[in-house]
Amino acid sequence: MSLTVAIIGRPNVGKSTLFNRLAGRPLALVDDAPGVTRDRREGAGRIADLAFRLFDTAGLEEAPPDSLAGRMQAQTARSLDAADVALLVVDARDGVTPADRHFARWLRRVDKPVIVVANKAEGRAAIAELGDAYGLGLGEPVAISAKHGEGLGELYERLLPFAAPPAEETEPAAEKPLQLAIVGRPNVGKSTLVNRLVGEERLLTGPEPGITRDAIAVAWTWQGRPLRLVDTAGMRRRARIEERLEKLSVGDSLHAVRFAETVVLVLDALLGLERQDLTIANLVAEEGRALVLAANKWDLVRDKPARLAELRERLDEALPQLRGIALTPIAALTGSGLDRLMGAVIAADAVWNRRIPTAALNRWLAQVQQRHPPPLVAGRRLRLRYMTQVNTRPPSFALFASKPGELPESYRRYLVAALRAEFELPGTPIRLMLRKGQNPYAPD
């Protein structure tokens, strides 16, 4: 996939709809409100047999460089620098606007091939407006409908000359990247953390709340280990979410958690562990993802030992199902603590993928029953017959008992805690499923 294509244009011309169409699935948020996309989103695009790397960008607007819109335009410029060809999207229904002409002049000064794409060209009236697009001085426009998938054949023909011929030698399969989602409340420093990790201003940051809207994936490598970082929108309490766009953003964040392998929950160390932080942590645990906590803005904390002890005590009290979870103090703005954070991420992933031999599990099961026997039911002792690990990611176990429905929840929690301690499974969700059955190793 040697061809890279950047989709650019003013707000609300259908750039994200085109991105989703070329990607083959709804990766980018789409809404009627202008300016939904703010950060650069990357994906794999395809038209027939032509595959390419794809950038979706923020809508171009004239604005001061230090404003949010100005920083968004700087991100679009970086996307253009990294691309082989740009698709300048205009709205065929509106015709060419002064903003389209302004940014066409900007593109003509850039040493980069540009294809003008007239989107929303479903009807004859829209096609009649295409004449104005010739006046942009960027060649013949391509009439498409990203929503309905029309005109992609002509776009294929226009992109094909920029694609390099396929390599004759096949490259060895790359190691699958670790899917790492960065989550947390708004304005805790998630995007700043991602920027510091990757070593560039890849994502928009600033004092404005709710800058990140899409879940943005960034490819990265740490000490030779490939990762796919996913920055997400801040998640507030559901009762405070009123706007439709914020609901879409939070839905995108939840989707990122479900498809992640490990999740870093970023906290504001100055505010401590708040109720919403615990809600997010519980959500991650329910989804069965590995979890690491990052206490950001640690450089601003005055009494560091006291705050760390306070956070740890609160975690043990509020998240007993994740006992031993890694808590790493960091300062995303300066880069302090990030190596420790990534070490904790890799360790959490290893625990999440750990498999325990069946023989070791059953020796342990016999020992824990001797130390603390199961309760009596109708005057008879419950018998825990056999245990085996049925899955990883997270570690999941099946426990076969004489009367599984009678085992109290308190004893089940005791088993999970003992299992976590014995086999060194700190901080990861553990699934324990009760089954009725016979020990397959018992004689007939």
For 331, the token pair is 């300062």
Assigned domain for 138 exists: yes
C-alpha pair distances (Å), 26 with each of 17, 30, 142, 271 = 8, 9, 23, 36
- Could you list the beta-strand ranges (E) of 307-349: 327-329
pLDDT confidence of residue 190: 92
Residue 372: give its domain's CATH number.
3.30.300.20
Cα 124 vs. chain centroid, distance in angstroms?
41
- Do 415 and 336 share a structural domain? no
pLDDT confidence of residue 444: 45
Assigned domain for 119 exists: yes
Assigned domain for 329 exists: yes
The three-state secondary structure class of 71 is helix
- Do 142 and 242 share a structural domain? no
- Do 306 and 186 share a structural domain? yes
- Do 376 and 347 share a structural domain? no
- Do 432 and 388 share a structural domain? yes
Assigned domain for 170 exists: no
Domains identified in the chain, total number: 3
Assigned domain for 444 exists: no
250-278 burial, b for 16+ CB within 10 Å, e for fewer? bebbbbbbeebbbbbbbbbbeeebeebbe
Which range of residues forms the domain containing residue 424?
358-436
- Do 362 and 348 share a structural domain? no
∠ CA(322), CA(426), CA(294), 5° rounding?
70
- Do 376 and 308 share a structural domain? no
pLDDT confidence of residue 63: 67
Per-residue pLDDT of the chain (444 residues; tens, 9 = 90+): 579 999 998 888 888 899 999 998 877 655 555 555 656 788 899 998 899 999 888 766 666 667 766 677 777 788 888 899 999 999 888 888 888 888 888 888 888 899 999 998 876 555 555 777 777 888 888 989 998 888 899 999 999 999 876 555 555 556 789 999 999 998 899 989 999 999 988 776 766 666 666 778 888 999 999 999 998 887 876 555 455 555 667 777 888 898 899 999 999 999 999 999 999 999 999 999 999 999 999 999 999 999 999 999 999 999 999 999 999 999 999 999 999 999 999 999 999 999 999 999 999 999 999 999 988 877 777 888 899 999 999 999 999 988 888 889 999 999 999 999 999 999 999 999 998 865 555 554
Q: What share of the chain is helix, strand, coil (3-state, %, to 5)?
A: 35, 25, 40
Distance of alpha carbon 398 from alpha carbon 300, whole angstroms: 46
* CB-CB contact of 190 with 269 (8 Å): no
Assigned domain for 210 exists: yes
- Do 395 and 302 share a structural domain? no
Distance of alpha carbon 385 from alpha carbon 402, whole angstroms: 7
C-alpha pair distances (Å), 312 with each of 154, 277, 329, 430 = 59, 14, 11, 20
The pairing of strands 142-143 and 290-296 is unpaired
Residues 6+ apart with CB under 8 A from 248: 29, 31, 213
| Of 352, 372, 390, the domain-final residue | 352
pLDDT confidence of residue 375: 83
pLDDT confidence of residue 209: 61
- Do 155 and 190 share a structural domain? no
* CB-CB contact of 148 with 142 (8 Å): no
- Do 362 and 296 share a structural domain? no
- Do 305 and 184 share a structural domain? yes
- Do 36 and 158 share a structural domain? yes
- Could you list the beta-strand ranges (E) of 286-393: 290-296, 327-329, 376-377, 380-381, 384-391
| Of 327, 352, 377, the domain-final residue | 352
Assigned domain for 173 exists: no
Assigned domain for 224 exists: yes
Residue 130: give its domain's CATH number.
3.40.50.300
| Of 328, 352, 376, the domain-final residue | 352
